[in-house]
Amino acid sequence: MAKYQIVGATGCPTGIAHTYMAQEALQQAAENKGVSIKIETHGQVGIENELTAQEIADADAVIIAADKDVQKGRFAGKQVINVAVGRGIKEADQLIDDALAGKGEVLEDENKQEEQSEQTEGQGETKKANNIGRNIYNNLMNGVSHMLPFVVAGGILMAVSFAIWGVYSAEPDSAQYNETAAMIKGIGDMSMGLMVPVLSAYIAEGIAQRPGLAVGFVGGLIADDGGTGFLGGILSGFLAGYFMLALKKLLAKMPKSLDGLKAIFLYPVIGVSVVGVTMWLLSGPMEAINQGMMDFLVNFEGSNPLILGIIIGCMSAFDMGGPINKAAYVTGTFLLAQGNSGFMAGVSAACIAPPLITGFGALFFGKYFEKNDRNAGFVNFILGSTHITEGAIPFATKDPLRNIPIFMLGSSIAAVLTYMFNVQVPAPHGGFLVLPVVTGKVAWVSSILLGSIIAGLLFGFKQKRLAAKNNTKESEAA
């Protein structure tokens, strides 16, 4: 069996692009330095290039570049560098150097970590707060990552039903009614209906591992049934996860012979009872808050598409797959489940634009780009057209202070025009692949292209000025 100096794991909430970009960046950086490395990926298709226990044991260091749970407990006792997936892409060289230099922390197992944290209470408060914030974000993204396939599958099936047989084809009283359409839409509804329970379940699973899964799922079902929406699902997920952590600690001193009883009886019965009753009681107030937010967004959408479009455009292009982008996207998917397909139209437009902006920039001002960047820009026409915003990230990381505002401008133009034209997109992902089911196809595509071309021209001009500046410096140096 091959031995590796460094092993690692990458994972992002959507599991489509960042996961593999970080893997590639780390592998390339290691290869350049003559270091052997194996990186496991936690993408949307599951775990690939999986590490064995022996490979982990033989490695000198571990790099985790992830915004979701990657089962880091396996690395207990190893020197671990644990960073966000974005740093795995942007700072791969530095991470390899740090790993070789023995930086990072020795990862303790869960129980030892709790004991140590009690003994060192009061020390390193800032560092502890940072870890808590990162853990909360990772657990939230663990839920989002597992929720997305249900949303995509459900949304596409519902969209297909509408596109082929008509919007009212699943309603028995309608003249459009068709049994096949009703069946397909019903399957789509079921898939979408699992969105909140799955979100809650995998937030809890990220926090408390397997004992949190069932409790989080039941809490999510109650939240969904009570009309609390995804906010209730997030609350129930964190409530279930941290309650189960406390329960595990409380029952830790029970005899080892009763471990089976704890797993199959005590954990689920106590957890489901406490979290279930709590969520049941919270459903009323949560439903009111949720409905208020939905009403606010829906009213905003109708009364001021300009401001809503700017907000959504800036959020979607600011971190392209990060937490701010995800806040807009998750709100869109939830409103989609409520039958509002207008909000998602703006979110989709804003997410599609950034990669297209780099493509148009490379197309109009190709000679001012390096060959690799020019080729990457052309590839981004494909990524953008399929709603993979992450294709613009390599450009954003090279010059964030100038490039990200340009992306935000293009996304905002696309979103504002989409809302002004009242476009409806009944699918949460897929980019131009879902065009057949879009209401207002020409307006939607035109909005995206206009925003992308305007920003693409700015992007190209910026690149031209940068190239001229570099040439001037070289001439002066000569």
Which residues are part of the catalytic machinery?
Answer: 12
DSSP codes, 243-274 = HHHHHHHHTTTS-GGGHHHIIIIIHHHHHHHH
Mapping DSSP onto H, E and C, the string for 17-51 reads CHHHHHHHHHHHHHHHCCCCEEEEEEECCEEECCC
Cβ neighbors of 262 (< 8 A, separation 6 or more) are 251, 254
What is residue 458's three-state secondary structure?
Answer: helix
Tokens representing 4?
Answer: 């590796």
Q: Angle at CA 196, nearest 5°, toward 194 and 138?
A: 120
Cβ neighbors of 213 (< 8 A, separation 6 or more) are 201, 202, 204, 205
Are 219 and 236 in contact by the 8 Å Cβ rule? The answer is yes
What is residue 186's three-state secondary structure?
Answer: helix
Residue 56 one-letter amino acid? I
Which single residue is written with the structure tokens 């982008």? Answer: 325
Distance of alpha carbon 422 from alpha carbon 301, whole angstroms:
9
